[in-house]
Amino acid sequence: MSISQSRLSGWKKFAISLWYKLASVQRGILVGCATFITILVFAEIWMRYIIHYPGMEVEELATLAAFWLYMVGAIYGSYERSHIKTELMHLIFRKPKHYAWVRVFTSTVTLTLALIMCYWGTDYLIWGLTKGETSRVLRWPMVYSQGSLFVGAVFMSFYFLVELIAYLRQALGKEPIVMPYQEE
User: What would the pLDDT profile of 59-116 be if each residue is shown by its tens digit?
Assistant: 999 999 999 999 999 999 999 988 766 676 666 666 878 888 988 999 999 999 999 9
Output the pLDDT for position 64: 94
Model pTM greater than 0.75? yes
The DSSP secondary structure of 11-70, one letter per residue, reads HHHHHHHHHHHHHHHHHHHHHHHHHHHHHHHHHHHHHHHTS----HHHHHHHHHHHHHHH
How far is it, in rounded angstroms, from Cα 111 to Cα 134? 32
Q: Which amino acid is at 72?
A: V
Least confident of 4-18, 26-40, 123-137, 155-169: 4-18
175 pLDDT band, cuts 50/70/90, is confident
Res. 183: pLDDT tops 60: no
**pLDDT at 12 (0 to 100):** 79
Cα–Cα distances (Å) from 37 to 10, 32, 43, 101, 168, in that order, read 40, 9, 10, 42, 40
Q: Between 55 and 44, where is the model more confident? A: 44
Long-range pairs of 136-140 with CB within 8 A, sequence gap ≥ 24: 136/56, 136/60, 137/56, 137/57, 137/60, 138/57, 138/60, 138/61, 140/60, 140/64
Sorting pLDDT into bands at 50, 70 and 90, what band is 184?
very low
Beta-bridged to residue 134, according to DSSP, are 141
- Torsions phi, psi for 94 (to 5 deg): -80, -30
Q: Confidence band (pLDDT; 50, 70, 90) for 177?
A: confident
User: Do residues 134 and 142 make contact, with C-beta atoms less than 8 angstroms apart?
Assistant: yes
Do 82 and 163 form a contact (C-beta atoms < 8 A)?
Answer: no
Which residues, other chains included, contact 122 with Cβ-Cβ below 8 Å and sequence gap of 6+? Answer: 150
Of residues 102 and 158, more confidence is placed in: 158
